[in-house]
């Protein structure tokens, strides 16, 4: 299956808690019928890939909200 890019790699500084932040890159892409948000460190190290719910097509600010929740969840784990 061939994928398509919804949003190309975007660098984002994500505010976490108590003044902490983390700078990562993310992209949103479609593979078959599924949409994904892939997050990686600036050096290319994978952080997480999130499968987006069916039919979810958002704007960049919404993807960044998802990005923050994923990073907060990873830190809490």
User: Region 51-77: what's the mean pLDDT?
Assistant: 77
| Helices and strands (H, E) in the chain, number of each type | 1, 4
**Distance between CA atoms of 24 and 63, rounded to whole angstroms?**
13
pLDDT tens digits for 8-52? 999 999 888 777 888 999 999 999 888 899 999 999 999 999 998
Q: Residue 56 pLDDT > 80, yes or no?
A: no
Q: Please tell me the predicted confidence (pLDDT) of residue 2.
A: 66
Confidence at 76, pLDDT banded by 50, 70, 90: low
Q: Which domain holds residue 13?
A: 3-76
């Amino acid at each position: 299956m061939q994928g398509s890019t919804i949003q190309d790699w975007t660098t984002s500084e994500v505010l976490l808690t108590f003044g902490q932040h983390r700078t990562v890159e993310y992209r949103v892409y479609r593979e078959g019928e599924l949409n994904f948000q892939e997050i990686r460190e600036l050096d290319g190290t994978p952080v997480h890939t999130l499968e987006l719910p069916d039919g979810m097509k958002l704007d960049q600010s919404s993807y960044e909200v998802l990005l923050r929740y994923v990073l907060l969840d990873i830190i809490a784990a």
